[in-house]
Each structure stands twice: as structure tokens, then as C-alpha cells.
Amino acid sequence: MSELAIELSQVTKRFGPKVAVNAVSLAIPQGQVYGLIGPNGAGKTTAFSMMCGFLHPTAGTLQVMGVPPTTPGALKGKLGALPQDALLPAGWEVGELLTYWARLSGLPQPEREARENLEKVGLAEAWFTPTEALSHGMAKRTAMAQALMGQPPLVLLDEPTAGLDPRIAAHVRQLIRDMKGRQTVVVSSHNLQELEELCDAAAILDRGTLVKAGTMSELTGQGAEFRVQIARGEVIPPELTQLPGVTSAKMESPGVLLVRFDGQAHKPEEVISRTVAHLLQTGVLILGVSRGQKLEERVLQIL
């Protein structure tokens, strides 16, 4: 599982004068659930579309499952994709469309595959529904079903829960969780809480540029910082920096102490315990301790 599922090297995509993705380099290991984060216009969908082979990069190189994604037929059976803005073709019933696509993917039991995956997304009853009669949410789930057919080793999902009601969105999140460890999943989303919950790692894009990439723990600082909510007592930060592993300590706001530590050399539980013990010894009363930051807070800080 150490091989790369996706590798972008200095990838740039221009649409006329507009640079949608600018010299982005990224490596996504196999077996991970990986998030693409960024505001509107950050280049997430463009990067996603290049990974699927829908768009040609203007410069740089891409490898998806070891091959350039625009090579004809190279990703067949290896990639399932949920494009954000692709409409389902008209003139089909959902069941026959999925069966057709499953057959085209070369799956051994196309109809069974179509039925099972439609059931997975909670749409078994839509088998005979014409595609043009589907609501937005149903169309999204149908598109999700086609991405899951055949359990491809790599699944790319662009905004998989956008426009879905909370119950269905939770169901889709569960489907992604179920793929964890067995398939590589790349998820692009605006919902940072969702990504924090689902992803092992993520890349943050802004205006086409890669701002930061790393494991979720690195991005949220869980492995390198924690906050202590102070109820009462005087905190003396310089005393805390003398503790093993602590690299800095400061009052972030009244009643909130931010401690950063060397997460590589010291285990978080040891540093946190030592710090809390020291505070208690000096008469400080504590309301709570939280590791890192919410992904949303971190992203807002970065962008």
C-alpha cells in the first residue's frame, strides 16, 4: 500500500488567460482517503478532472495508478469517478444505463453489479425511472452508484454530498468510510467537517496553487499542538517551554493556553500529561484540553 495512486508533478492548467491550476505537485498514496480542500475557484474540480483524464494539463505530468490518465483505455477498471458537473444522459432508465456502463467496464455480471450498487446508494426503487425524471439528489446518487460499480481500486468523488439531504449525505459518508483501507478514495468537498471526519490526508488549494498538503493530523496540528482551557490561576508560559518536548506556549486568548510541541520526538499524551501536571502543581485549574484545531479553523487561518 506504499505505492502512489496519484502523482501530480508541477501540473498547470490554463483556460485562455485564466490559470486554474498553477504548478501543483501532489502525491496520494494508495489505500488512503484523501481530501481536496479549497474555496470556490481554488482549482479542485480542475485538478480532479485532470486526474480523471477529462482535461489535459497545460504543463507538468500526471500519473494515475501508474499511467497518464489521458492514455486511451489505461484507467479502465482501475478508476471510478463521480464528476461534479456531468449530467446523466437522457433517454435511459436508470437500471439499463447502469447495466450498460457496467458492461462497458467489462464487469462479469453487469446487471447484478448495477442492482447492488443502486441498492448501496438507497435507490433500488429507481431501476425503471427515466434519467430525465430524477431529482438532483437521485441523479447524484445514481452517479455515485456508477462510480462504485466493480469496486475499482481508485475512486474519485467530486462533491459527493453536495445537494443531498442530511440523511442521504450521512449514508454517502458511510459508503466512503466502508471503502477506507480497501480502495483509494479522493474526495473534493466544501464541507470541511465531513473531510476532517473521513480523510486520512488532504491538500488545500487556493486560487490554483497548493497551499498545504499533509496528513489530517498534520493539517489540524493534532500531532504538534494542544489547547488548555484555563478556569482559574496564573499561567507562566516561559515555565512551560522548559518542559521536555514543548517548543512554545502562549495565551492565545483570555482563558486559552496554546502549547506547541515537537510531535516527531515526543508522544502527544506524554507532553500533554506533563503540561497539565505542571499547571495543576502551580495552582492552575483546568476546564479542558483539546488537541490541534478544527480543520475548518485551520483552513480559514491558512486561506
Partner 1 sequence: MPGTLDGLKEIAVIWSAETLRAVRSARTLVLLGLYTLFSLATLLVVAALISSASGSMVLTQELTEIPPVILGVFKVNLFFLPVYVALMGFDQISGEVGTRSIRYITVRARLSSLLLGKFLVQASLLVGLVLVIDVGIFLYARYSHPNFTLSAMALSLVKVWLATLVFSLAYVALTTFCSSLFRSSGLSLVFNFALVIGFLLMELVGWYYKDKSFIEYIRYLSPSYYSSDLLSPVLSEFGRSGLTYAGITLLFLGGAYGVLRARDL
Backbone angles phi, psi at 77, to 5 degrees: 80, -10
Contacts of residue 169, defined as CB under 8 A and 6 or more positions apart, other chains included, come to 161, 194
Dist. CA 96–CA 268, nearest whole Å: 53
Taking the complex as a whole, the smallest distance from the CB of residue 90 to partner 1 amounts, in Å, to 8
CB of 6 vs partner 1, minimal distance in Å: 14
What minimum distance in Å lies between the beta carbon of 147 and partner 1? Answer: 9
Q: Is 52 in the site for partner 1 (CB under 8 A)?
A: yes
Q: Is 100 in the site for partner 1 (CB under 8 A)?
A: yes
Work out whether strand 33-37 and strand 184-188 pair parallel, antiparallel, or are unpaired. Answer: parallel
146 binding partner 1? (CB under 8 A): yes
Site of grid cell 496528513: 215
Residue 80 interacting with partner 1 (CB under 8 A): yes
- Least distance (Å) from partner 1 to the CB of residue 115? 17
Based on the shown chain and the rule CB under 8 A, indicate whether residue 72 belongs to the binding site for partner 1: yes
Choices 31-39, 45-53, 189-197, 203-211; region in contact with partner 1 by CB under 8 A: 45-53
CB 34 within 8 A of CB 185: yes
Binds partner 1 (CB under 8 A): choice among 19, 23, 54, 256:
54
Minimum separation from the CB atom of position 199 to partner 1 (A): 22
Question: Could you tell me how many residues of this chain bind partner 1 (CB under 8 A)?
Answer: 31
Looking at beta carbons only, is 146 or 184 nearer to partner 1? 146
Give the binding range for partner 1 (CB under 8 A) out of 80-88, 133-141, 166-174, 229-237. Answer: 80-88
**Closer of 156 and 259 to partner 1 (Cβ):** 156
Count CB atoms within 10 A of the CB of residue 135.
11
Q: CA 296, CA 298: separation in Å to the nearest integer? A: 5
Q: Alpha-carbon distance 260 to 1, whole Å? A: 32
Binding test (CB under 8 A) with partner 1, winner from 106, 163, 181, 214 = 106
Is residue 14 a contact residue for partner 1 (CB under 8 A)?
A: no
Per CB under 8 A, does 86 bind partner 1?
A: yes
Phi, psi of 93 (to 5 degrees): -90, 150
3-state DSSP call for residue 8? strand
d(CA 269, CA 148): 39
Joined together, the cell numbers standing for residue 280 give: 495543576
- Kindly state whether residue 133 participates in binding partner 1, applying the rule CB under 8 A: no
249: left (phi over 0), alpha (psi -120 to 50) or beta: beta
Name the site residues for partner 1 (rule: CB under 8 A).
49, 52-56, 72-73, 75-77, 79-81, 83, 85-89, 91-92, 96, 100-101, 103-106, 143, 146
